A and B are shown apart, each in its own frame.
Chain A
Amino acid sequence: MSETEMRSETDEPASDPVLEIKNATVSYEMSRGRARVLNDVSVSVERGETLGVVGESGSGKSIFASSILDAVEDPGLLEGDVIFHPENGESVNVPDLDGGDLRRVRWDEISMVFQGAMSSFNPTQPLRVHFEETLEAHNEDKDAGMERARGILRDLNLEPDKVLGSYQHTLSGGQRQRALLALSLLLEPEVLVLDEPTAALDLLMQRTILRLLQTVKEEYDLTMVFITHDLPIVAGIADRLAVMYAFELVEVGETREVMRDGSHPYTRMLLNSTPNFEMSVEDINPVEGSSPDPVNIPVGCPYHPRCPVSDDRCEEEKPALVEVEEGHQAACFYTDRAKDEIEVSLGGDGE
């Protein structure tokens, strides 16, 4: 494997990343100053895993998604590396690609489902046209491709011929979202990036879509990057979680560990601010204050103005994302204090 030297030294020997994001930074020049909307983010996505990326609006999570596909909108500038290691073939650095090479990686290899399926289809054309045009644009055999499309639609509990002959507005929200998912799987990508794929759906449809995602992931050997502001949505589907705050990663680790034994104060407070049935209503509390403006990020730890365990050091020095346990990283000087002082009473076992 010629890409060995591209891997970071800290990787486990068993690690087989399909994506390595290294020092990804996205900035915009604004009249009010230079806005960093993604700040030095490094994370690997293992082949076959589901990585959940969680953060509030304005935490940089959607920019992170766009960065993976080098699809940051102008005049945003992406710096850093996004190295894609295909199952077969040579590794590539996505930001270095252009033209046909970039198009081949986007959708063919790394596909994306955005939120708001309503606006993703052209309302004047039946869905069939979207599938056919996608195949044409990527020089795929149309008959074989449409046969594949029917299979995927069936896997998603849709009637292929009915859906392909429909216009988007005649479908329900759940049907539309599943059709969009089918379109994103049409070219048999290795990686699927999902940005709030269940937003605006009813409870039961949301649960159905999550189950279908898990099913197609296994069926089509996918790696998924699942972006959301709603922790419980990814809790059941993600192998690992990456928590974003103020355009950076503040905690990365196995889902169970992050949710039941989070190390960063923000992670713990985010859990406590999420409406749920497990905690008493008195234990559910908002995260006081608001997340920072990208042109005016606090010096030191960006979370310190809202953090109950911060001290002088946090106001001056910025904590790096470091390993707190094997395979679990957090960007905080006082992870022990956070666990002691910010109680998360899930399941009432006082863990």
Chain B
Amino acid sequence: MSADDADTAADETTTGGDEDTPVLELDDVVVHFEQQESLVQQALPDSVGERFGMTEPPVQAVNGVSLDIEEEDVIVLVGESGSGKSTLGRTAVGLEEPTEGTIRYRGHDINDVRRGTHGDQDLMWEDVRRALQIIHQDSTAALNPYRTVRAILSEPLKLWYPDLDMNDRYERLTAMLRTTGITPAEEYLDRYPHQLSGGEKQRVAIIRAMLVEPDVILADEVVSALDVSLRIDIMDLLLDLQDMVGTSYVFISHNLTNARYFAEKADGRIAVMYMGNIVEIGPAAEVIENPKHPYTKILKWASLSLDPEEIDIMEDSPMMTQDAPDPSDPPTGCRFREACPKARDACAEAEPTLGSKAGDTHVAACYREVPDHEYWDSNWAHDGEEHDIPE
């Protein structure tokens, strides 16, 4: 562990790269998981093993995603289980290696940095690790139960800022705790995680990630396990800290109302994911108020209103199939077409891409966005007719 190197580099606020280079650039990132290498699968009983043979093709978790994350940017990845949002997030911050494509941190391919083959000796892998942090959904599992809050929070400071003495660390910790609404700070420092509430634990996990002043934080479902009434509190805290520390967020959520709050308040973007693809991306308010992709419209329909007058719980689901396709054998063409109430035969032919004309900030990967596409002349795919998506 070369703490000295890390310190030197960490003291320089930016390491290479000019003003216009995004903090993180994802370029056509593909992540496949080989099924036969999965330990989980080996541990499963035979009934499961039979269903997935040893020769099964890999699960296509992320299917060619390009995305730029700028300074103090907020991007919210929305999708259901299996949409690839967590895999994409983890790959973006260097926790998974992409099968294909590149991730550049301030212009440097992080896989080259990881292997030390990038040629720029000012930037070490430790710097990338410090710059890209993660906050998990389960703060109970993320915090060591045998250590006090003081020990948990001192660790990153000792590692990345070895010049700080005990008093300096104490000052930083108490200041941070006070800022985040954990008072009296002195008292909390001596507590163990089990003596904290769910919201307080999540705050400690957030502070731990923030103490090293990262450039990008992956916040993976950080509010979904919390009470609804606490979610706003935690999201506000993240936004306040963004103002202080100047970090960017990749915020993952399966809940569209949380996504809207976080992204809209930060003036950020929402990216909707389905089976490894971003199917729609744009400024938060636009994606919510004027969704383009049928899947986004369906997610909006499924989000329950706070107004009881607006909810008809007996309304049929607009999804044409209930079960998601097999991620190791996705449908040809548009991956959503089997479930899509707006699918036509042309959707089976080629996979639609996020078409973007210059200046377009809100785009969707759907042929309905292309006025002169052959889609419009082909037949409806489900029962030969169009199906509605209720508001």
Interface, chain A (partner B; CB < 8 A): 56-58, 157, 167, 169-170, 173, 202-204, 206-208, 210-211, 214-215, 229-233, 235-237, 255-256, 259-260, 270-271, 273-279, 281, 284-287, 290, 346-347
Contact of A275 with B309 in the complex, beta carbons under 8 Å: no
- In the complex, besides A236-B311, A275-B260, 18 extra interface pairs with C-beta distance below 8 angstroms are A56-B227, A206-B302, A211-B313, A211-B314, A211-B317, A215-B314, A230-B228, A232-B305, A235-B311, A236-B313, A237-B313, A255-B308, A256-B309, A275-B232, A278-B307, A278-B310, A279-B306, A347-B310
Write out the residue numbers on chain A whose beta carbons fall within 8 Å of the beta carbon of B319.
Answer: 204
Write out the residue numbers on chain A whose beta carbons fall within 8 Å of the beta carbon of B308.
Answer: 235-236, 255-256, 259-260
Contact of A231 with B47 in the complex, beta carbons under 8 Å: no
Contact of B312 with A207 in the complex, beta carbons under 8 Å: no
Q: Given that A167-B47, A207-B317, A274-B306 are known contacts, is A231 also in contact with B311, CB under 8 Å in the complex? A: no
**Interface residues of B, count at CB 8 A:** 49
6 A-B interface contacts by CB (under 8 A): A214-B313, A235-B305, A275-B228, A275-B261, A276-B305, A286-B233
Contact of A203 with B303 in the complex, beta carbons under 8 Å: yes
Cβ 8 A contact of A236, one of B299, B300, B312: B312
How distant is B177 from chain A, measured CB to nearest CB, in Å? 15
B131 within 8 Å of A by Cβ? no
Contact of A203 with B313 in the complex, beta carbons under 8 Å: no
Q: Name the CB-closest residue of B to A280.
A: B264
Contact of A284 with B322 in the complex, beta carbons under 8 Å: no
Within B25-70, the residues touching A (CB, 8 Å) are 44-45, 47-48, 51
Q: Given that A57-B227, A204-B319, A259-B308 are known contacts, is A276 also in contact with B81, CB under 8 Å in the complex? A: no
Cβ 8 A contact of A202, one of B48, B230, B254: B254
Contact of B230 with A278 in the complex, beta carbons under 8 Å: no
Contact of B230 with A347 in the complex, beta carbons under 8 Å: no
Contact of B314 with A235 in the complex, beta carbons under 8 Å: no
Write out the residue numbers on chain B whose beta carbons fall within 8 Å of the beta carbon of A277.
Answer: 257, 260, 288, 300, 303, 305
Q: Given that A232-B304, A285-B232 are known contacts, is A204 also in contact with B80, CB under 8 Å in the complex? A: yes
Q: What are the nearest 5 A-B pairs in CB distance?
A: A236-B311, A232-B304, A236-B313, A286-B233, A275-B257
Write out the residue numbers on chain B whose beta carbons fall within 8 Å of the beta carbon of A255.
Answer: 308
Write out the residue numbers on chain A whose beta carbons fall within 8 Å of the beta carbon of B300.
Answer: 277
A136 to B120, CA, bound (A): 71
Contact of A56 with B229 in the complex, beta carbons under 8 Å: yes
How distant is B283 from chain A, measured CB to nearest CB, in Å? 13
Cβ 8 A contact of A276, one of B257, B298, B315: B257
Write out the residue numbers on chain A whose beta carbons fall within 8 Å of the beta carbon of B265.
Answer: 281
Cβ 8 A contact of B314, one of A167, A173, A214: A214
Contact of B198 with A203 in the complex, beta carbons under 8 Å: no
Cβ 8 A contact of B298, one of A173, A204, A229: A204
Contact of A203 with B311 in the complex, beta carbons under 8 Å: no
B246 within 8 Å of A by Cβ? no
Contact of B229 with A274 in the complex, beta carbons under 8 Å: yes
Contact of A229 with B229 in the complex, beta carbons under 8 Å: yes
Q: Given that A57-B198, A281-B264 are known contacts, is A170 also in contact with B48, CB under 8 Å in the complex? A: yes
B250 within 8 Å of A by Cβ? no
Q: Is the interface of B mostly helix, strand, loop or mixed?
A: helix
Write out the residue numbers on chain B whose beta carbons fall within 8 Å of the beta carbon of A270.
Answer: 229
Contact of A203 with B256 in the complex, beta carbons under 8 Å: yes
How distant is B309 from chain A, measured CB to nearest CB, in Å? 7
How distant is B210 from chain A, measured CB to nearest CB, in Å? 19
Write out the residue numbers on chain B whose beta carbons fall within 8 Å of the beta carbon of A206.
Answer: 302
Contact of B229 with A273 in the complex, beta carbons under 8 Å: yes
How distant is A346 from chain B, measured CB to nearest CB, in Å? 5
Write out the residue numbers on chain B whose beta carbons fall within 8 Å of the beta carbon of A347.
Answer: 307, 309-310
B355 within 8 Å of A by Cβ? no
Contact of B304 with A207 in the complex, beta carbons under 8 Å: yes
Contact of A287 with B229 in the complex, beta carbons under 8 Å: yes
How distant is A205 from chain B, measured CB to nearest CB, in Å? 8
A285 to B229, CA, bound (A): 9
How distant is A117 from chain B, measured CB to nearest CB, in Å? 14
A167 to B50, CA, bound (A): 14
Contact of B261 with A157 in the complex, beta carbons under 8 Å: no
How distant is A193 from chain B, measured CB to nearest CB, in Å? 19
Task: Flag B282-303 by CB within 8 Å of A: 1 or 0 each.
Answer: 0000001000000000111111
A203 to B236, CA, bound (A): 23
Q: Name the CB-closest residue of B to A157.
A: B322
Cβ 8 A contact of A170, one of B47, B227, B230, B302: B47
Write out the residue numbers on chain B whose beta carbons fall within 8 Å of the beta carbon of A202.
Answer: 80-81, 254
Write out the residue numbers on chain B whose beta carbons fall within 8 Å of the beta carbon of A281.
Answer: 260-261, 264-265
Contact of B306 with A286 in the complex, beta carbons under 8 Å: no
A285 to B228, CA, bound (A): 11
A270 to B305, CA, bound (A): 14
